[in-house]
Structure 1
């Protein structure tokens, strides 16, 4: 949910809700709440300014406001009198009841407080009129259910109240573009409601015997367990014999301004002073005699750097080259592949923005196409793999490896299209979640597709073994989690695939043409040597990888760093979940499989933005507010709601999560109240830098 109950005396406070779906049936509500509803009153009611719609491929409804209704029904927008929703107004719910309702409704809805019009007097569970016991009784002329929805609402009437409403926060593409009037809704649900056992309507078991139903989104983190608080004692690697303690004491190794709380290491990386000093010294060495360095000294350093990163990812030096960043490396791969007509590139809806646009570019200029696998997180690794294999199996035959053990994509009989390559993240950027990338590679082998792995967030955050994974191409940024200076990245191409990579980007002096061989002798073509000199450049960021690896060893090594960052992200997420209440969710599965050193939480209070322009305004307000508070974490919209991604690093501790969480909650409330609209200057959508870090 994007809002939560904020009350110190949670057990004593009572809440009121407008229910417009299955929960209109008091017996169903009782089953969800787990008690007899004896302290709750019910009233026939109307929600003005909102329309009910069927969720596609489901038998439950959603409501949206007039603005979103106009977008959904753009070809036939309703008039003002049609924008009302009939339902039931309930009063007297406890904090635990609210928790149970949020469990039942799931992650697709935001809870908002909205004005309502009551249509009947309140009645308790023992004295309910027939039409409130079973909403199907509200059908027909006697109750004028649809005509009530079609009447304009007078906001000045004394029967106007306020209540919490579960409003659809997901994509409009998931809703049927037609208003689901109350009569049509209850007719659709009549068989389900009429089949309920009679005792559901006339009697209820004693308190304690009713159990809330299981959450339908099985496999995702639920709220049925007590909300854990972040526990400092569970931080792995915080202390280690012979090494400094991780936490705020490590800040002396970084050049952050005083008091800056950086929970966004994942976007651009943050090199320690050790790396900055190394680069400064190296730069002075270069400038002391540029010819000596650029003609003699640089190449041994380049090969040493390649060997060091190759060791970390489980590769050979001859299979690894250095490039400026992951985007550059992925482009190098896509540019070199000889695409054939009918080839398909598969990406995901969470693929990094620049990489996704890059794939679109190739589909624009070549006779190939793009298939985007749509995912909304949290979802399980099994769901990701199923969605991926569905696409592969749709186009490709199961591949038969040749004598080398490699296979080639082949379209199904009668289909000239085939998936030639799948571009998969190790860890997506926004949201910052772990993909089952190694199993995606296995699926690619099964169907003969090339696996191009975007590991921008991988090296330094998780252990890697690219040989074992057997991917076709792998790219990773060294300036993010490995702590090198930006920008520095590696491109891995196994020996058996290097024939596909005819040139570096840009083409270098190391390129050898088969059509126009270099005069004066035969020079053997070699993939890696082409990257030794792609033009004059500043080598210090690439060579800073050496000092970054050296620094990481000096503070305890790769495993200690990974253990601390991952456990801090986990406990920091729990700490904020406890602070923001059970209505805020951690984007993960159960057991956890998506979070590593980045943890994603839905933001409290804030409704979904109305459109792209509104989203830009809200994001700008978040960013300016965090700059003012001397902190940062990455906020983004996913699945129709606002989330925040926290990147945990060795200089952070749990208090950093508390501070940034407090700042964000304040900003969320201000956005909810419309304060972000008062910003003096917000860039138009077209002028916003196209980043998705």
Structure 2
């Protein structure tokens, strides 16, 4: 029958920076400064003076780049499947999928039987939220941070619609900059406020690294807090794998999702969904429900050491079996995970080397942009917020008020926050051949830049000059003429 295995090739160790570009398919005229996903669908602030209801901008997604050899690996698998579709999908694909799950499990230090692969982070989050078992007494509350990824925030709202009278959401407002102690204290206060109001804080949701703004949260301490308080923890780790160290055995969250296509150099879309065996009884359905579903009446519900006691003919537990085949889709990227991890080790020197370079570059690059613009980077005194491969820089734009040194005035009018965002990002893409998220946060405009192995400080200096030009043009009202 053959095998999807190919002889292992040795990769060339390459210095970080411009030389690394030879391994990627990025257009020579394009500067890739946005590795993470961007979602800007927040409502206008209550103090907006405009007298309008919530104005929502459509989500914008952008994702990591993939080494050319890894893309070719996916193409080879796709071609092999086209040559023998039924045999590949039925026999070869599951074998390759198991190896990918095991590779992710080693990277995250988790048992392979707790890891499955799904199309993206939103699919993983939706799978958890739509399967979660709420108590029927109507006292359950979701405790979530205010900078939650916008689509996940919408999902928690939808859960309330889907389970009327059973669950509601309580938001923990995080106004930055904050030290880690303050974030933990605020989340703990949110849990206590839920109890004081007569509710049951049931599920706590927070990020490893948030999307907008792109900052590291003290997710380890928040997970421990949830455990101490008897609250189940759901970590949105969309930016975790390939970005920072995550030890799930030590962390022991109740649910965890992370995208492999953002920072791990895996073709889109691919995400890891972690559910420890103690909760796998709850995750009853994939999205969509498919062949792997086993009706409750057919499951042996006896518990042995917190695990479902049934054994399937293929030797896998019901959780893994359920996600093995979820309708036909282009999921060849799933099978590229082991090759991507090996590429990172041989070409880049491994996870620690990548993380060290990118975090340092993000910090230095952010300072360069801020110096050019005459503004500042979003960070705290301990720099725990900036221990990530992304940086957030304040733009020299002022909403209303008097002109101050180095600032450009943006006259208040309905929806102006998003008008500026849309205009600046369109100009970046069309005129400058790049893209960085611009977003309105805490009453001001910010930009987020991502560091990656193929970037250097000079790229951030170039970005600073570009932003200086765009902000000056906004100050002249050009954004109103488009």
Q: TM-score range by the shorter chain?
A: 0.7 to 0.9
Closer/same/farther in 2, CA of residues 611 and 347 from structure 1, 3 Å limit = farther
Question: What corresponds to 2:112 in structure 1?
Answer: 317
TM (norm. structure 1) is 0.58
Q: How does 1:394-413 map to 2 (within 5 A)?
A: 394-396=193-195
Q: 2:418 aligns with which of 602, 606, 616?
A: 616
SS, match of residue 281 in structure 2: helix
Maintained 8 Å contact 1:274/1:547: no
Q: 1:358 aligns with which of 148, 155, 158?
A: 155
Maintained 8 Å contact 1:393/1:447: no
Mapped to 2, the partners of 1:580 and 1:291 lie a distance apart of 57
Q: 2:30 aligns with which of 260, 282, 293?
A: 260
In the TM superposition, residue 616 of structure 1 has moved relative to its aligned partner by 2.3
In the TM superposition, residue 416 of structure 1 has moved relative to its aligned partner by 4.6
Q: How does 1:229-244 map to 2 (within 5 A)?
A: 243-244=13-14
Q: Which runs of 4+ in 1 moved over 4 A?
A: 522-525
Q: How does 1:180-259 map to 2 (within 5 A)?
A: 243-259=13-29
Q: Which protein, 1 or 2, shows the higher relative CO under an 8 Å CA cutoff with sep ≥ 6?
A: 2
Q: 2:350 aligns with which of 544, 550, 557?
A: 557
In the TM superposition, residue 517 of structure 1 has moved relative to its aligned partner by 7.2
SS, match of residue 270 in structure 1: coil
Question: What corresponds to 1:377 in structure 2?
Answer: 176
Q: Is 2:392 aligned against 1:607?
A: no
Closer/same/farther in 2, CA of residues 612 and 300 from structure 1, 3 Å limit = farther
SS, match of residue 174 in structure 2: coil
Maintained 8 Å contact 2:100/2:338: yes
Question: What corresponds to 2:328 in structure 1?
Answer: 536
In the TM superposition, residue 463 of structure 1 has moved relative to its aligned partner by 0.7
Q: Is 2:475 aligned against 1:672?
A: yes
Mapped to 2, the partners of 1:459 and 1:394 lie a distance apart of 33
Q: Is 2:200 aligned against 1:418?
A: yes
Mapped to 2, the partners of 1:600 and 1:416 lie a distance apart of 38
Q: Deviation per CA, 1:350-405, whole angstroms, max 9, x where unpaired?
A: 10110000000011232211111111222221121111000112234xxxxxxxxx
Q: How does 1:591-602 map to 2 (within 5 A)?
A: 591-595=382-386, 596-602=388-394
SS, match of residue 631 in structure 1: coil
Q: 1:585 aligns with which of 352, 360, 376?
A: 376
SS, match of residue 439 in structure 1: helix
SS, match of residue 646 in structure 1: strand
Mapped to 2, the partners of 1:517 and 1:560 lie a distance apart of 46
Maintained 8 Å contact 1:580/1:604: yes
SS, match of residue 262 in structure 2: coil
In the TM superposition, residue 563 of structure 1 has moved relative to its aligned partner by 0.9
Q: 2:275 aligns with which of 478, 482, 493?
A: 493
Tell me the number of residue pairs that the alignment of Structure 1 and Structure 2 aligns. Answer: 416
Mapped to 1, the partners of 2:338 and 2:428 lie a distance apart of 33
Question: What corresponds to 2:407 in structure 1?
Answer: none
In the TM superposition, residue 523 of structure 1 has moved relative to its aligned partner by 7.2
In the TM superposition, residue 611 of structure 1 has moved relative to its aligned partner by 5.7
Maintained 8 Å contact 1:501/1:527: yes
In the TM superposition, residue 464 of structure 1 has moved relative to its aligned partner by 0.8
Q: Which runs of 5+ in 1 are unaligned?
A: 1-241, 397-411, 680-693
Q: Is 2:162 aligned against 1:392?
A: no
Question: What corresponds to 2:146 in structure 1?
Answer: 349
In the TM superposition, residue 653 of structure 1 has moved relative to its aligned partner by 0.2
Question: What corresponds to 1:574 in structure 2?
Answer: 367
Closer/same/farther in 2, CA of residues 494 and 606 from structure 1, 3 Å limit = same
In the TM superposition, residue 243 of structure 1 has moved relative to its aligned partner by 2.7
SS, match of residue 632 in structure 1: coil
What RMSD, in angstroms, separates the aligned Cα atoms of the two structures? 1.8
In the TM superposition, residue 448 of structure 1 has moved relative to its aligned partner by 1.0
Maintained 8 Å contact 1:633/1:660: no
Mapped to 2, the partners of 1:511 and 1:605 lie a distance apart of 53
Mapped to 1, the partners of 2:208 and 2:414 lie a distance apart of 28
TM (norm. structure 2) is 0.83
Q: Is 2:257 aligned against 1:475?
A: yes
Q: Is 2:294 aligned against 1:512?
A: yes
SS, match of residue 292 in structure 1: helix
Question: What corresponds to 1:14 in structure 2?
Answer: none
In the TM superposition, residue 516 of structure 1 has moved relative to its aligned partner by 6.2
Q: How does 1:2-81 map to 2 (within 5 A)?
A: none
Mapped to 2, the partners of 1:638 and 1:605 lie a distance apart of 12
